[in-house]
Amino acid sequence: MYSTDLRTDKEKKSADQQILDDAELWNTFQARIDNGDTIEAKDAMPKKYRQTLIRQISQHAHSEIIGQLPEGNWVTRAPTLKRKLILLAKIQDEAGHGLYLYSAAETLGRSRDDMVADLLSGKAKYSTIFNYPTPSWADIGTIGWLVDGAAIVNQIPLCRCSYGPYARAMVRVCKEESFHQRQGYEIVTVLARGSAEQKAMAQDSLNRFWWPSLMMFGPSDGASTHSSQNMKWKIKRHSNDELRQRFIDATVPQAEFLGLTIPDPDLKWNEERSSYDHGDIDWDEFWAVIKDGGICGKDRIRARRAAAKDGIWVRAAAEAYAAKQSAKERVA
Ligand code: FAQ
């Protein structure tokens, strides 16, 4: 229904002819990347570059859309009217991020309908973090603090990604994520400074979300299939482990400031590296959540399928309205 592929049919055909799959043309493309050029939608590009971007950007879009669900769980139960308004605004921001990202991916030639179909059929991935439940109000604070915090660390470098439409979308997304992170940290601060029960609620939430937040950065570098090529193409600017370490180093002092304990007995400041050493991440859990959807995967997809079904009449009405408008314009 919606398409932001900016190319005309003729341009699409000529870009197809130019798919840069032989070595010499890959080199030409690589030289542009090395030169710091920004690649735009109408530029010729290797098929693999296009495909990897469609994969990453659509997964990212799906994460933003599915990411509304754990927070949506608390809209009707937010403790005050002010908290409810802030939460609603944040969830709407996440929807907006999903839409910019689907639009950025569409410039590469895949329609939003097709990408959403992949999500609803269970074919497409989205971030594992959103398959964890949010049973307490503290989880809303922890999501802002840790999940948006991790998202910022991962996404700031994406503002300099080689693909222009993705990089530009990321600038606004990161500004909004920054507000989200602060509001989450503020919720956790209030709880950590509140009654013993409230502090325990904040600690329990940190205990449940710490390790899944570290998994958001993807598998360790040795197991990351896409990193090496994506770093050559400047889609990625830093490895998964580098960004994870950056997040840990920034977040540990924030937890200490609140008097909360990071649930990692092996966490230790390493003077030599000027960085924290940390315990082993349970990669079996990570891969199991990807494969089976973890605790909430089935519910998440069920909720999106219901939303797609309930929204059929809205999309039909929008299409009918658009058709009427363009008929009117033709007459005028
Ligand atoms: N979950 O080779 P790599 C947010 C997959 S947005 C599930 O290292 P890559 C906002 C990966 O797809 C959060 N799958 O992959 C918010 C690949 O599988 P494939 C989302 C994962 O792409 C806040 C395989 O593992 N952010 O939080 C995950 O080079 C609060 C091998 O991995 C983005 O999407 C995972 N965590 O690096 C919303 C940022 N990690 O496709 C609401 C953009 C890896 O080959 C509330 N994406 N996989 O079958 C990226 O930066 C990258 O795609 C990485 C993964 C770093 C996520």
Q: Check: CB of residue 181 under 8 Å from CB of residue 143.
A: no
Which 3 state secondary structure label does DSSP give 246?
helix
Alpha carbons 23 and 28: distance in angstroms, whole number: 9
Ligand 1 pocket check for 219: Cβ under 6 Å: yes
pTM: 0.93
Q: Check: CB of residue 319 under 8 Å from CB of residue 1.
A: yes
Ligand 1 pocket check for 218: Cβ under 6 Å: yes
pLDDT value of position 23: 76
CA of 178 to the centre of ligand 1 (A): 19
Ligand 1 pocket check for 139: Cβ under 6 Å: no
Nearest CA to ligand 1 atom 14: 127
pLDDT value of position 24: 74
Q: Going from the first residue of the chain to its last (332 residues), give the mean pLDDT of each consecutive group of 10, the final group possibly shorter.
A: 55 53 80 97 93 98 98 96 97 97 98 97 97 98 98 97 97 95 98 98 98 98 96 97 98 98 98 98 98 97 97 96 96 88
The per-residue pLDDT for range 21-78, each reduced to its tens digit, is 567 778 899 999 999 999 999 998 999 999 999 999 999 999 999 999 999 999 999 9
Nearest CA to ligand 1 atom 53: 56
Q: C-alpha angle 238/240/243, rounded to 5°?
A: 65
Ligand 1 pocket check for 94: Cβ under 6 Å: yes
Q: Which residues of 269-290 are buried (b: 16+ CB within 10 A; e: fewer)?
A: eeeeeeebebeebeeeebeebb
Alpha carbons 222 and 282: distance in angstroms, whole number: 15
